[in-house]
Amino acid sequence: MTIDYLKRFTKKLSFALSALMIVSFSSTVAAETAEEKAFRLAAASLEAMGGAEAYDKTRYLSWVFFGRRFHVWDKHTGNIRIEYEDNKVVLMNIHDKKGRAWENGVEITDPEKLAERMTWGYQVWINDSYWLVMPYKLRDPGVNLVYTREDKMADGNDAYVLTMTFNDVGVTPENKYEVFINKDTMLVSEFAYYAKAEDEKPQFNRPWQNWAKHYDIMLSDTRGELSMAPVMVHKELPISVFKSPKATSGIKGAMIQ
């Protein structure tokens, strides 16, 4: 066996191994399931927003839901504050669903009425917070996420479309969403809402616009003509925010002055 033969043989073997690796890689990509691709895209979108660690470390959020309700949320304890209508306040914990409520400065002490207000507060928080932080919850337990297609959004930009359904989580597990991830930014830029998972047409589509950096994470405050502003992340807040119905200071958007 000559040296030239060995060189030619080695070269052919190298080409063959390279081709095999390419075929193997292509097969792996082709074999990626709709669930795996959805998980990968959701992970990339999460990183574009700052990452899971940054979101988990973010403690205090405040926002105004479509001009109707002012929220403050302590993500670490589950304490929330909701101000709404004319001097109405709910202070409660979303984990044990216990708390206190006031109307025009007068505390609600009737057990039945208070229980109703706690149920209302929890359901409202579930809805209103989802409109703010849904992009961070694509991989939550109980969420079914699959890659559906590539499509154009209402603004003309290209997007990856993920379909999201639920396994008995939240207060409306029968809902379905299509989540549009902008291919350039990897940020959620539109979503479609279906009241029932089996529905073929959405009840509405809304853009997720005006993404901005808030310390270590990104948040969007605009849903077309509807606004969540002012959206704020707070490093520290006094405990009185979650204990007293009196006006808060230094938090933009508060309804009780």
pLDDT tens, 198-250?
Answer: 999 999 999 999 999 999 999 999 999 999 999 999 999 999 999 999 999 88
Does a structural domain hold residue 83?
yes
Contact 208, 223 (CB under 8 A): yes
Please write the tens of the pLDDT for every residue from 142-166.
Answer: 999 999 999 999 999 999 999 999 9
- Mean pLDDT calculated for residue range 137-145: 95
Structure tokens at 181: 């991830």
- Cβ neighbourhood burial of 64 (10 Å; 0-12, 13-18, 19+): buried
Q: What is the pLDDT of residue 14?
A: 53
For residues 49 and 24, the model is more confident at 49
In a domain, 234, yes or no: yes
In this predicted structure, what is the pLDDT of residue 168?
75
Percent of the chain with pLDDT over 70: 88
The answer to whether the peptide bond before residue 230 is cis (omega within 30 degrees of 0) is yes
CATH for 145: 2.50.20
- Please return the burial class of 142, using the count of CB atoms within 10 Å of its CB with bins 0-12, 13-18 and 19+: exposed
Does residue 193 fall inside a structural domain? yes
pLDDT band (50, 70, 90) for residue 137: very high
**Structural domain contains residue 59:** yes
| Residue at 184 is within a domain | yes
Split at pLDDT 50, 70, 90, the class of 172 is confident
Tell me, yes or no, whether 18 lies in a domain: no
* Angstrom distance (rounded) from CA 232 to CA 62: 5
C-alpha torsion sign, points 136, 252, 69, 104: positive
Query: What's the domain count of the chain?
Result: 1
Report, as an integer, the average pLDDT of 75-94: 97
Domain enclosing residue 115, as ranges: 44-242
8 Å CB contact between 175 and 195: yes
- The CA distance from 90 to 7, in Å, is 80
In a domain, 33, yes or no: no
pTM score, whole prediction: 0.86
- C-alpha triplet 15, 19, 20: angle, nearest 5°: 115
